[in-house]
Structure 1
Amino acid sequence: MAHLSSSLLLLFLLLFFSLNLLQTAIARGGQRLHSGFVDERYAASGRHLSEETEENHFQKLNTLAHGYMTNSDIEKAIKAFHGRCGRISRVYSIGKSVLGVPLWAMEISNNPGKEEAKPAFKFIGNVHGDEPVGRELLLLLANWLCDNYMKDPLATLIVDNVHLHILPSMNPDGFSLRRRGNANNVDLNRDFPDQFFPMNNDLDERQPETKAIMRWIRSIRFTASASLHGGALVANYPWDGTEDKSKSYYACPDDEAFRYMAKLYSGSHINMSHSNEFEAGITNGAHWYPIYGGMQDWNYIYGGCFELTLEISDNKWPPANELRSIWQFNKKSMLNLVASLVKSGIHGRIFSSDCGEPLSASIAIKGINYTIKARESLADYHRLLAPGHQYEVVATMPGYKTRSTTILMREEAMMVDFILEPDVTQADSFLPSRCSSRNYFHIMDVISKPQLQISLTLLLVLAFLYFLMKRKAIVNHFKARRAKGQRRGSAV
C-alpha cells in the first residue's frame, strides 16, 4: 500500500511539472489557453478540435467574458473618454475589421491632432481575440492620464511632451468569436511581411486589420510602441525569428536599446522582474521561440519604430475581477515606457546653414546598422539609445556635407541638433541660391500635378483669347485714328 501511494505521488509530481513546462513555452504561440487546456488548432501538427471540444471551448471563454467590455462597450467607453477629456484627446478610426467593426484609436496630447516636434508612442491591445486584457488596461490607462493631467508629474510629462496613440482592440472580431484569429481565422501576428522568408509580401492579400496597422504606421512617425498580449509575464524584443528557423538568440542592430526598453518595463513590474523563467523578466523573441510574419519586427524594419511585445498576464483570459489587480501591476510599467521617449535617447532638429530651412536628413549611429530619417515637415528626429555608452551620431543629406558628433549617453535625454552646410559643386554653381533652387523644384513639383496642369492650360487659353481681343481693339483704335487724321487733313 505504501509502495502504491509513493507511485501515485511520483506520478502526480511528474504530471504537475509537465504542465508547468508546457505552460512556459507556448504563451505567444497560442497553444496554451488560460483555462489550462491546449488549443490544438494552432499546434504545429495542424490538428483541429472536435466539434464537442470546440463548443466547450467557446462556452468556457464566453463565461469568462462576463465583466469584460463588449466591442460596443469599448466604442462607448472611448467616446465617453473623449467627451470627458476632449481638451487633451481626439478619437479616430484607422480602418475596419473583416466584419466591419471600426478600429477605434485615441490620441492623448496637449495638442491632439497637431503636428509637432515631439515623439509619438502607440499601444495596441487585443491582437489576438482570446487575449482581451489589453483592451481593458488601455482604457484604464487613458482615463488615468485624463484624471491625473496637471496633478501627477508623470501624467503631465507624458501629455505635454508625447503624442500617445492607443488602439484598445486590433481584433474585435476575434474577441466576439472567442478565438485567437480574426473573422477569417487568421493570426494577425503572423500576417505581416517577413524579413527572412518570402511570405505575406502580397499586400493586397493581407487582412483588413493588418492593412490598417500598416497604413497607420506609415501615416504617423511613431518612435516606439508596444502590443499587449496574455499567457505569460515577460517583455519580448526583436528579432522574433531567425534565418534558419532555429530557436536561438538573434539580436537586431539595436539589441542594447531594446534590452534597455524591455528592462524598463519589467523593472517596474514586481512579478515580471522576479520571473523564474526569464532572466530580469525579458526575452529575445527568437530565443524564446521563433515566429514569422510578426508585427514587432515589421515595425522596426519598415516603420522606424521600436516595438516591444508585452505579455502582461499569466492567464490569457483571467476572470474579470482580476483586471484591477493586473492594471495595478502594469500601470507604472506602461507609464514609464511611454515617458522614456522624453526621459532618454537623443532628440533634435536638422537645418540648412544657408537658408535655415528644415532638412529631412538621415540620422545614423556609427557601428549600428540602422538609420532613421528626420520628419520632412519639421526636421525633428527621436532616437532611442541605451545609456552608459559613447556614440558617434552622423547626419547625412544629399547635397549637403555630412556632419557628426560624439556623445556620452547618460540616463537622461540629450538634445543633438545639426546645421548642415551645402556641398556646392560646379554643376549647380550657376544657381544663385540652393534655397531658391529648392523652391523652384518645389514649384515645378506642384505644377506637375494633373489637376493644376488642367487649370493652368485653361488659364493660358483664356489669357491668349484676352490678348487677341485686346490686340483687335488696339488695331481698330489705330485704324480709326488714321482714318480720322486723313479726313481732318483733307478738310484743311
Structure 2
Amino acid sequence: MENVRKPIINSYLVLLSLCFCASFHHTAAKGGLFTSLRSDSLDDRYAGSGRHLFQEKQLSKEEHFRRLNKLAEGYMSNADLEKAIKAFNRRCNSISRIYSIGESVLGVPLWVIEISDKPGKDEPEPSFKYIGNVHGDEPVGRELLLLLANWLCDNYMKDPLASSFFLANLIVDNIHLHILPSLNPDGYQSRKRGNANDVDLNRDFPDQFFHMNDDLSMRQPETKAIMSWLTKIHFTASATLHGGALVANYPWDGSEDEKKHYYACPDDKTFRYMASVYSNSHHNMSRSKEFPGGITNGAQWYPIYGGMQDWNYIHGGCFELTLELSDDKWPHASEIPDLWEYNKMSMLNLVASLVKTGIHGRIFSSNQGRPLPASIAINGINYTIKAGDAFADYHRLLTPGDKYEVIATMPGYKSKSTSIVLGEEASTVDFILDPVVTASDDLLPRGCDCSYDSKKLKLLTGEQSKFLLIFVFISLFLCFLMKRRAILSFVRQKQGAGAGPKRPVGV
C-alpha cells in the first residue's frame, strides 16, 4: 500500500511546486495558493480549480515582483489613491463624505467614500458597500471604484434627458453607497496577495463550519476593521471586487463536508438573481463557457473557509457577492478604461437593485406609534433580517415573480404576517404590531392610557398654564372666604349664649 501511495504523493508535490512557481497573473483569485497558514489544510487542495494556473515560463519571486512592478505603471499608488479620494470629496462634498474604518498593519488608513443625498445622516434607506483590493495583487477594483464614484458625481442632477441622470439620481437619493477602494494597501504595495503579515484577508473571518479565526487577538487589523464597520452600519448588500476570473460568485463559499459541490444557502434563489443582475449587465460575463450564465456557487467552484462573503451573510445580515472582474489578476493599465466600460452598468445596476426590487417597509407599535426594531422572516426561508434601530426600516432582497408570506416579530408584541406577490418592481409592506396583553394589564380600566407623553406635558407648561394658575388662585380665595364665614358664625353663636365678655376675633 505504501508503494502505491508514494507515486501519488510525489505527483501531488510536483503539482504544488509548479503552482507555487507559476505567475500570479493567472492564479485563482478567490482561493489562491498564497493563503493564511491557518487555512491551508482546508482549501489549498481546491486552489485554482477551473483556472489557468500554468505559464510557459516559470518566474522566480524576484522576476515576478519586477514584472508586477512593470504592470503597476499607470495604476494609482497608495498615496495617489488617498489624494484621489480626498480630491473627489472636495469636488462632490454636497453628496459625499470620507471617513476611515481603521488602518492596515503598516498604518495606512482604510478610506471609505460615502455617497448619498444626505451623507453621514441616518435615514430609512438601504446601505450598500463595495470593497476593492482584498488581495494585494488584484488592483483592478480600486481603480474601478474611483471611476464609479466620479461617474455618480458627474451624472447626479445634471442632464435630465440622459438615461444616466435617472440611474444616478435613483442611487444617490435612495441609497447610502459606501466605497472602500482598498482593503489591503500593504499587499498592493508589496505586490503580493496577503497583507503585511502574509495573511490572506479572505480567509481571516470566523467560519461557520470549522473553528478557525475564533480568537479575536489573532485576526488581522484589516479584518477587525471590516467586522467593526458592520456593527456601526446596517448594510443590506455588498460586493467585493477580485481578479483572476470572470464570474459572479455567491454563497455558500464552503461546504460542511469539505467537498467540492453545490452548497446552497437559505437565500440561494435570491443570490442567484443578484449574481445574474451583475452578469447580465456585463459586456461579456454572461457568455462565459466555463460558468453557465456567468455565475457560480462558491462551494461548487472550489470551497474556501474563513471567507468574508459567508461571514457577511451570517453575522452581518448583509447579502454579499464576490465579483471576479478579469481573467488577468493584474492587467495592463491601458485596459482599465475598457474594464470600466464592461463593468459600469453591472456595478450601477447591482446597487440600484436594492430599491428596484424586494420588499421594504417600517414597523410600528399600535399603542404608541413608536418604531419597533422587529425581525422580518419569510415563510419557507430559514433566514431573518432585523429592522433598523432608529427608524425601524427593513429592506428584504427577494427574487421577483414569486409569492411570499412576510412575518414581523418582536418580543412583547403579537406577530403579524401578510402575503404578497412580488412583481418586477419593489413592494412596500409596513407593519403595526399590537402589544401582548398580560394578566396584570387586565386589572387596568379599559381605555386607561398610563403611558407618559412628553408632548402632552409640554402643553400644560405653555399657554394653558396661565389659566390653570388663575383657576387655582380663585379656588383658594373662595375656600378662604368660606372658612372665614364659618368661623364668624361660630363666634356669634358663642357670644349669643352669654359666654363671657365680648372680645375681637382675628381670623
The answer on whether the counterparts of 1:240 and 1:296 sit within 8 Å (CA) in structure 2 is yes
Taking the aligned partners of 1:159 and 1:332, their CA distance within structure 2 comes to 15
Tell me which residue corresponds to 2:142: 135
- In the alignment, is the contact (CA less than 8 A) between 1:346 and 1:416 conserved in 2? yes
TM-superposed deviation, 1:30: 2.0
Q: Structure 2: any 5+ residue segments left out of the alignment?
A: 1-17, 35-42, 48-57, 159-164, 455-507
The answer for the alignment partner of 1:104 in structure 2 is 111
2:127–2:235: 8 Å Cα contact kept in structure 1? yes
Determine the C-alpha separation between the residues in 2 that align with 1:297 and 1:184.
23
Q: Counterpart in 2 of 1:412?
A: 425
Letter in 2 for 1:298: W
Closer, same or farther: CA 55–407 of 1 in aligned 2, 3 Å: same
Give the corresponding residue for 1:398. 411
Residue 66 of structure 1 pairs with residue 43 of structure 2 = no
| Aligned twin of 1:28 | 30
CA 1:45/1:124 → structure 2, altered by over 3 Å: closer, same or farther? Answer: closer
CA distance in 2, matches of 1:178, 1:417: 50
Paired letter, 1:208: P
Question: Sequence identity, in percent?
Answer: 69
The CA distance in 1 between the partners of 2:28 and 2:174, in whole Å, is 38
| 1:258-303 Cα deviation digits (max 9, x unpaired) | 0000000000113101000000000000000000000000000000
Q: Which position in structure 2 is the counterpart of 1:470?
A: none
CA 1:66–1:311 in structure 2 vs 1: closer, same or farther (change >3 Å)? same
Amino acid at match of 2:129: K
Task: Map 1:149-298; keep pairs closer than 5 Å.
Answer: 149-151=156-158, 152-298=165-311
**Over 6 Å off, 4+ runs:** 22-25
Q: Contact (CA 8 Å) 1:253, 1:369: kept in 2 or not?
A: yes
Query: Any conservation in 2 of the 1:24–1:277 contact (CA below 8 Å)?
Result: no
Q: Which amino acid aligns with 2:97?
A: R
Q: Counterpart of 1:397 in structure 2: which amino acid?
A: M
Larger Rg: 2
Q: Distance in 2 between matches of 1:417 and 1:113?
A: 25
CA distance in 1, matches of 2:197, 2:413: 50
Whether the 8 Å CA contact 1:25–1:288 is kept in 2: the answer is no
**Stretch moving more, 125-134 or 147-156:** 147-156
**For 1:64-87, what per-residue CA distance to the aligned partner results, in whole angstroms no more than 9, with x for missing partners?**
100000000000000000000000
**Which one-letter code corresponds to 1:222 in the other structure?**
F
With normalisation by structure 1, the TM-score equals 0.80
- For the 8 Å contact 2:27–2:329, the answer to whether it is kept is no
Structure 1's unaligned 5+ residue stretches are 1-17, 33-41, 439-492
Change (3 A) 1:352 1:298: same
Matched letter for residue 103 of structure 2: K
Deviations 1:214-268 (A, max 9, x none): 0001110000000000000000000000001000000000000000000000001
**Distance in 1 between the 2:450 and 2:403 partners?**
35
Q: 1:365 is aligned with what amino acid?
A: I
Residue 144 in 1 paired to residue 151 in 2?
yes
The question of whether the paired residues in 1 share the 8 Å contact of 2:25 and 2:328 is answered with no
1:170 aligned counterpart, secondary structure:
coil
The answer to whether the aligner puts 1:425 opposite 2:443 as a matched pair is no
Distance change in 2, residues 1:52/1:119 (3 Å): closer
Task: Tell me the matched-pair count.
Answer: 407
Which residue of structure 2 aligns with residue 468 of structure 1? none
- Distance verdict in 2 for CA 1:425–1:321, change over 3 Å: same
Change over 3 Å in CA distance of 1:433–1:391 after alignment to 2: same
Shift of 1:25: 8.8
Q: 1:384 to 1:31 in 2, by over 3 A?
A: same
SS in 2 for 1:193: coil
- Taking the aligned partners of 2:396 and 2:46, their CA distance within structure 1 comes to 42
Cα pair 2:27 2:33 within 8 Å, conserved = no
Mapped partners of 2:438, 2:406: distance in 1: 26
125, 137, 144: which is aligned to 2:132?
Answer: 125
Cα 1:61/1:110, change in 2 over 3 Å: same
Choose which of 56, 63, 70 in structure 1 pairs with 2:63. 56
Q: Does 1:91 align with 2:98?
A: yes
Q: Is the 8 A contact 2:29 2:242 kept in 1?
A: no
Counterparts of 1:276 and 1:64, CA distance in 2:
28
**CA shift for structure 1 position 377:** 1.3
**In 1, Cα distance between the equivalents of 2:230 and 2:80?**
26
Taking the TM superposition and a 5 Å limit, the aligned residue runs for 1:335-346 are 335-346=348-359
| 1:28 Cα deviation after fit | 2.0
Partners in 2 of 1:434 and 1:416 — Cα distance?
30
SS at structure 2 position matched to 1:354: coil
Give the Cα–Cα distance (whole angstroms) in 2 for the partners of residues 228 and 435 of structure 1: 51
Q: CA deviation at 1:27?
A: 3.7
Query: In the superposition, relative to structure 1, how do residues 24 and 168 fare at CA in structure 2: closer, same or farther (>3 Å)?
Result: closer
RMSD value, Cα: 2.4
